[in-house]
Amino acid sequence: GIQVEQSPPDLILQEGANSTLRCNFSDSVNNLQWFHQNPWGQLINLFYIPSGTKQNGRLSATTVATERYSLLYISSSQTTDSGVYFCAPDTNAGKSTFGDGTTLTVKP
């Protein structure tokens, strides 16, 4: 099956800093989602982005499907951004494979 690698595994930022999270995948994908898992375990949809670039407030994402990677940008980070960020591409309709995640800690 598809292999998904996320980097870095852990990231500590000072509030206000910017960051880039990376997701590499080993196969062609039909779609790709980015999620934020909050401390209570809820997964929050950030982006549905099989290709191209999208922006939503301080967050943006870019997927280059031909090169098999996706990037999540967080600008002007806030303490509420802390949590685990997962990317989840899928090669078969609706069957996603999750990466190991990036644990982000934003310090005040």
Partner 1 sequence: GAVVSQHPSWVICKSGTSVKIECRSLDFQATTMFWYRQFPKQSLMLMATSNEGSKATYEQGVEKDKFLINHASLTLSTLTVTSAHPEDSSFYICSAAPAGGVGEQFFGPGTRLTVL
Rule CB under 8 A: say whether 45 interacts with partner 1. yes
Least gap, CB of 24 to partner 1 (angstroms): 15
Closest CA to 56 of 38, 42, 83, 36: 36
Q: Which of residues 65-104 bind partner 1 (CB under 8 A)?
A: 86, 88, 90, 93-101
Q: Based on CB atoms, which residue is closest to partner 1, 42 or 80?
A: 42
3-state secondary structure the chain: CCCEEEECCEEEEECCCCEEEEEEECCCCCEEEEEEECCCCCEEEEEECCCEEEEECCEEEEEEHHHCEEEEEECCCCHHHCEEEEEEEEEECCEECCCCCEEEEEEC
Q: Based on CB atoms, which residue is closest to partner 1, 38 or 80?
A: 38
Q: Based on CB atoms, which residue is closest to partner 1, 73 or 98?
A: 98
Q: Based on CB atoms, which residue is closest to partner 1, 2 or 17?
A: 2
Which residues contact partner 1 (rule: CB under 8 A)? 30-31, 33, 35, 40-43, 45, 48, 86, 88, 90, 93-101
